[in-house]
Amino acid sequence: MRPFPESLCHRCGAPPRYVRTSSSVYIWCPLFENHYPRQPVLACPLFRARGVDPDPPAP
């Protein structure tokens, strides 16, 4: 299960990475200044559409 399913990051070609701890999953962004944008990201000037989602959320 992805954190913040509505986040724009899941469809971004930055590409983000998912950092898992024992209790949470964080979205790490290579472009964002502190690398951990406040979630959910609903708008982002750095967003770049990814062509194919390799891990689409379950319906």
Binding residues vs ligand SF4 (CB under 6 A): 8-9, 12, 14, 16, 29, 31-32, 37, 41, 44, 46-47
Q: Fill in the amino acid letter for 21.
A: T
Q: How far apart are the first and last CA of the chain?
A: 11
Least Å distance, CB 43 to ligand SF4, is 9
Least Å distance, CB 21 to ligand SF4, is 19
48 vs 45: CA distance, rounded Å: 9
Please identify, using beta-carbon distances, which residue of 24 and 40 lies nearer to ligand SF4.
Answer: 40
Only one residue has tokens 């724009």, namely 8
